[in-house]
Structure formats: structure tokens, C-alpha cells
């Protein structure tokens, strides 16, 4: 059985750590986008409730914002999932 030299081991460790950092950065980005969407949604819903006197228009605009927020969050979740799968495939190729 052939021993691996320490340089190969070190390169493997650095590669694994780089992939983990990338995955964690993707998670942070996803969570930041979700947090921002929720904050913007809350601000606009509050503005609609105070500034628009018609209950129908206020509720209609709130519903549109909620749907738009859900679409943005789902799209970002899909993007995060794709990048996570890409990193896992890369890891399998390197092994």
C-alpha cells in the first residue's frame, strides 16, 4: 500500500475546507436574502395599512407583496439547493 505524502494530505484538507466555506457562505447569503425580504415585506405592509384608506386595496397590495416575497424566497432556496448539489458533485469527483 502506497503512503500519501503530507503535501497531498494538506491539499485535500484545504480543498475540503474551501468547499465548506463556500457552502457556509451560500447559507449566509440565502438567510440574508430571506431576512431582507421579510423586513421589506413588514415595512410595506405597515405602510399600506396606514396610508391606504381602502381595506380592499390595502389587503390586495399586501397579498401581492406576500406572493412576491414567497416567490423570491423559493427562487433563492432553489439557487442554494443547486449550488449545494454542485459542491457535492465536485466533492465526489475529487474523491
For the chain, the structural domain boundaries read 19-94
Q: What are phi and psi of 2, to 5 degrees?
A: -90, 135
Q: Which helix (H) or strand (E) holds 13?
A: helix 6-51
With 0.85 as the threshold, say if the pTM is over it.
Answer: no
Give me the long-range contacts of 63-67 (CB less than 8 A, separation at least 24): 65/41, 66/41
4: left (phi over 0), alpha (psi -120 to 50) or beta: beta
pLDDT of residue 71: 92
pLDDT along the chain (95 residues), means of 10: 60 76 86 89 85 84 89 88 81 68
Amino acid at each position: 500500500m502506497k503512503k500519501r505524502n503530507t503535501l497531498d494530505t494538506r491539499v485535500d484538507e484545504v480543498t475540503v475546507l474551501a468547499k465548506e466555506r463556500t457552502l457556509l457562505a451560500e447559507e449566509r447569503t440565502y438567510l440574508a436574502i430571506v431576512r431582507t425580504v421579510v423586513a421589506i415585506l413588514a415595512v410595506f405592509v405597515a405602510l399600506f395599512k396606514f396610508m391606504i384608506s381602502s381595506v380592499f386595496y390595502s389587503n390586495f397590495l399586501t397579498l401581492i407583496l406576500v406572493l412576491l416575497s414567497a416567490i423570491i424566497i423559493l427562487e433563492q432556496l432553489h439557487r442554494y439547493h443547486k449550488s449545494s448539489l454542485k459542491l457535492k458533485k465536485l466533492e465526489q469527483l475529487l474523491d
